Amino acid sequence: MAPESPQFLRPLNTLLLLATVSTVLAIALRHPGFALLAVGGIAALVYSYAEAARSLSNLTIRRHHHPRAFQGNSVNVSLVIAEGRKTRGELVMVEDEFPPGNTHRIRRLVEYPLGGGRGIEMAYQGSCDHRRGMYILGPVRMQTHDSLGFWRREVIVECFTRLLVYPEAVDLRDMELLGEGTLPNAGLEMTHRSGAGEEFLGLRAYRPGDPMRRIHWKTSARHRELLVKEFREEVITLVSIFLDIGRMGLVGVGDQTSVEYGTKCCASIAKRSTSLGHRTQLFTVGGTVDHLPPGSGTNHLLALLDRLAYLKPEGDSGFLAVVGDLAGTLPRGSTAVLILGAATIDAAAAHAVLGRLLSRGVLPIFILIDDRAFIKIFREQEERHSQAMTMEETVRTLRLAGARVHVIGKARSMSQALLQGLEREEVVLP
């Protein structure tokens, strides 16, 4: 590439100098040739300036793209650009703001002229490299020169669109993370079996362990044997995800935080649960408890991902206490997935929660984020982490109490860390 010309040798400066010298000589020498040269130079300057001023006037721009994307994926964006009047020119540089990507500004060179109201399309792929959340695309900057290359024209068009970036969801298709819950037919929305429901099925002979209140005393006296009432029990195959977003559970900076790991775990599990046909509900526990009721299908998954995209850590969650309070609302045969930092677990609180879940026939799964590997944000976190159980002690405590445990460690590739942690249970030798 040839080196750039010095500033004083550029065409505009050369023509200005030529017109000025010609004008001075024409006045001083009264020579018609210099006068004609001066008039020609001035005319060229005026024409090129007027042409540049008319360029990129009455612009209309429409941006088209999908309104949602996953972190790490690309988005196809198209800009349809039209100009109100047809003007002449050489090339137009179009620059679009794409804040979710590392390449914040996308630049493309398109042909000119645009034409009288006729639109041209500029397409590009934007990579969503940054964290989840709502991003505003725009504005659009356009630059062009007149046909002589003397004057540059720049226009900023306020064309804005929204792009919601979901947390990355790793593919758990080949992994048995959720298994079959506590029922062999998990994946169906509901199954019926005899139990302690409200619909009466009939009478059967007493078996050791049957509660005395279910004995039908009149019929038992008539048949001279103990008979008990049997009811139909509805067992829902439901996956309940509990995510800790409390302020004290947040460690790390930028995109590498425990909460970002947690939201990606949540998105991955919800995606897997939906693909299996489970009904799924979400509890995010921070300063308040936000609940997305149970549902299934793609639309419900999108609603859940919308919640995750906007999450912000806040408040002192008291996570395990909240889960313990909500345990009584979970149906028998369902699965509870608890996602939280390992250093925030108290042994007594964990035993209490697991006792309530297991007493209701709920399968508990703990997803532990190894938060000791992250940078601490608050002074209290240092004290809490120094007093907490080691990871090995935490895993052993939870497993002995009846939970399945998965550990997510910090890694440069968050996706790889999630896959390694979610594909197998954590086992600690006695």
Residue ranges of the domains in the chain? 7-54, 59-166, 191-235, 237-422
Mean predicted confidence (pLDDT) in 369-398: 83
pLDDT at residue 186, as a whole number? 41
Q: Does domain 237-422 have CATH number 3.40.50.410?
A: yes
**Is the pLDDT at 263 greater than 90, yes or no?**
yes
Mean predicted confidence (pLDDT) in 405-423: 88
Residue 335, φ and ψ in degrees, nearest 5: -125, 135
Residue 328, φ and ψ in degrees, nearest 5: -70, -15
pLDDT digits (tens, 9 = 90+) for 12-33: 667 677 778 777 777 787 778 8
CA distances from 192 to 30, 154, 195, 196, 207 (A): 110, 69, 9, 11, 21
Reported as a pLDDT band with limits 50, 70 and 90, residue 189 is very low
pTM for this entry: 0.75
pLDDT at residue 253, as a whole number? 81
CA dist., res. 405 & res. 376, Å (int):
24
**Is the pLDDT at 248 greater than 80, yes or no?**
no
Reported as a pLDDT band with limits 50, 70 and 90, residue 192 is very low
pLDDT digits (tens, 9 = 90+) for 225-235: 999 888 765 54
Q: Does domain 59-166 have CATH number 2.60.40.10?
A: yes
pLDDT digits (tens, 9 = 90+) for 338-352: 999 998 898 999 999
- The answer to whether the beta carbons of residues 166 and 155 sit under 8 Å apart is no
Range with the lowest mean pLDDT among 83-87, 195-199, 408-412? Answer: 195-199
**Is the pLDDT at 51 greater than 90, yes or no?**
no
Would you give the distance in Å from CA 390 to the centre of its chain? 31
pLDDT digits (tens, 9 = 90+) for 118-151: 678 889 999 999 989 999 999 999 888 777 777 7
pLDDT at residue 280, as a whole number? 93
Range with the lowest mean pLDDT among 190-194, 308-312, 333-337? Answer: 190-194
